[in-house]
Amino acid sequence: MTKKSPPGANLDASKLRPGWDGSREEAGGEPAVIYLDYAATTPVDPAVAEVMGRSLRAERGQGNPSSMHLPGRRAAARIEAARAEVAALIGAASEEIVFTSGATESDNLVLLGVPRANAHRGRHVVSSRIEHKAVLDPCRRLEKEGFTVTLVSPDRTGRIDPQTLAAALRSDTVLVSVMLVNNEVGVIQDVEVIGALCRARGILFHTDAAQAAGKIPIDVRVLPVDLMSFTAHKLYGPKGIGALYVRSAARPHLQPVMFGGGQERGLRPGTLPTHQIVGFGAACELAREALAPESARLFSLREGLWRDLATVGGVHLNGEGAPRVPGILNVSFEGVEGESLVAGLSELAVSTGSACSSSSAEPSYVLRALGRDTELAQSSLRFSIGRFTTPAELTAAAAAVRRELRRLRALSPASETADRGSADALAGDEGHVVGEAGGPGQEVWVRFRLQVRDGSVQKASFRAYGCPHTLAVAGWVADRLAGRGRAELMPGTPADWAQQLAVPVEKLGRLLKIEDALRECLRSWPEV
């Protein structure tokens, strides 16, 4: 009898649809980018990838870990070995680790599972205004279920004052959740004091440690924490696997939010992904071994980057004065619009402190909670560095930021006003027509300056502050004003401009400021 090859054994990978597996990136078809967004996700360490690959290739270890046969028992043994490494990273016992799909699921399990399980004792939850959405959104869900949620504000350094939090506690408080390290500014919270306050009152305390695990020392044997969320992809492991530490005494006060299967002590059903868990364990082992020297290295790199950026002036360090995790530097820049700044830094992978997208201009709620005004909150960058960051990369990054700051600040109406006086003064110059809309602190600020002779525009220039679409359209319009007279000054409508330059419809309102500035030119244009 001829032995059949397993499905896919003779598959020719070259015939697969190109790009789905990252082959295009590996072929070098895209420009090099300096990766400075480790707080969003970290690259998988090659050693971790190798361990995962071996797990996937192991023919005798591919059983379902819930099965009692030999392949299942081998898979389960690998999971338990990895669970021990995950537990060791935070000083926990193996049986106190529950595997989830990531920190978001862990947060949801706690924020929904604890209040629901303890509703007979109280219906009040306390958290902070600078938590991750994975905590804040479940809090909003609790409010719809009839719970009361109190969100405590941080001080201007980004820290939650334990006494302020203590004042928010009530007799019916059943859960407090305060993150260990803030994901935007990197500030480390005093969870030791906060946890002690909660434990003295018999209140369960949870901390989101996604940005802390593997970055700073954590020992739950001495830290008064009942529940702790963390995830593999923030510490050089794979995406899609995380953990929840559940102190043994806290287990009776937590109920599941998903059902079916009974895995993970009945708290998180579903077949366990052996290869991901093995990768998580390997990542935790590497992080634990390298914690001290890597922290010192990242601290030195971060401080060097800050010194380079500070030389440009008008720069604010967010979280200054508070203890911060070594790998995160959050900086706000005066006189530039955040989206335009990021768009100009195409050679860098960084996060903006603004939540701006094509449909939203909302600034970072974390930076607003720290007291930053809207303009500074929108013009912040989060540089997060990690295991593979080099000094040369940070030198290049600082040079790129300085370049874009100079360009955008020179393009802003604020620079022209500072150098030459107000738009009214410019308008008084013979042969000059000036029109302006918007102003300092507004989302859009546009100024056109026209040199007029013999009834037509000889030369047009502009200054603008705003998103990349605003700047692009203002420049496009200015290029089309030469030779136009007063009657035909308008080169179309904002809708025409948006169509010509593919501006998203939700940003059409910003182009109205450009039209307003042109109308101001018409008002100041002397009639013959």
Catalytic position from the list 139, 284, 356, 521: 356
Q: Quote the percentage of the chain above a pLDDT of 90.
A: 77
Matching CATH number, 47-287, of 3.40.50.1820, 3.40.50.10440, 3.40.640.10, 2.40.50.100:
3.40.640.10
356 is catalytic: yes
> How many Å apart are CA 468 and CA 488, to the nearest integer?
27
Give me the helices (H) in 202-273, please: none
pLDDT(363) > 90: no
Structure tokens that stand for 102 in this block: 């990531």
- Write down the H helix ranges in 149-233: 162-168, 191-200
The answer to whether residue 358 scores a pLDDT higher than 80 is: no
The number of helix segments (H) and strand segments (E) in the chain equals 17, 16
Residues contacting 213, CB < 8 A, separation 6+: 89, 90, 230, 231, 234, 235, 284, 287
pLDDT tens for 52-66 read 999 998 876 688 998
Percent helix / strand / coil, the chain, rounded to 5: 45, 15, 40
Contact of 233 with 40, CB cutoff 8 Å: no
pLDDT band at 354 (very low <50, low <70, confident <90, very high): very low
Percent of the chain with pLDDT over 70: 89
Class of domain 291-411: alpha beta
pLDDT in tens, 241-297: 999 999 999 999 999 998 988 898 889 999 999 999 999 999 999 999 999 999 999
- What letter does residue 95 receive in the DSSP assignment? G
Higher pLDDT among residues 413 and 10, named by residue: 413
**Which residues touch 158 (CB under 8 Å, ≥6 apart)?**
130, 182, 185, 187, 318, 319, 322, 366, 370
pLDDT digits (tens, 9 = 90+) for 170-229: 999 999 999 999 999 999 999 999 999 999 999 999 999 999 999 999 999 999 999 999
Domain spans of the chain, in order of start: 47-287, 291-411, 413-524
**DSSP alpha helix (H) spans, 99-179:** 103-117, 133-144, 162-168
pLDDT in the model for residue 378? 82
So what's the architecture of 413-524 in CATH? Alpha-Beta Complex (3.90)
User: Phi then psi for 155, rounded to 5 degrees?
Assistant: -80, -175
Distance CA 421, CA 434 (A): 12
CA R_g for the chain = 28
Least confident of 254-268, 292-306, 419-433: 419-433
Residue 124 pLDDT exceeds 50: yes
What pLDDT score was predicted for residue 468?
Answer: 94
- Do 171 and 142 touch, CB atoms closer than 8 A? no
Same fold, 47-287 and 291-411: no
**pLDDT above 90: residue 416:** no
What does pTM read for this prediction?
A: 0.89
Tell me the two tokens of residue 199: 């434990």
Closest by Cα among 302, 308, 352 to 327: 302
Q: What is the pLDDT of residue 178?
A: 98
pLDDT tens string 75-98: 999 999 999 999 999 999 999 999
Position 415 scores a pLDDT of: 87
22-31, 125-134, 193-202: range with lowest mean pLDDT: 22-31
User: What average pLDDT does this structure show over 498-525?
Assistant: 94
User: Is the distance from CB of 432 to CB of 426 less than 8 angstroms?
Assistant: yes
Check residue 12 and give its pLDDT.
59
Residue 433 and residue 445: Cα distance in Å, rounded?
A: 17
Report the pLDDT value the prediction gives residue 32, as an integer from 0 to 100: 86
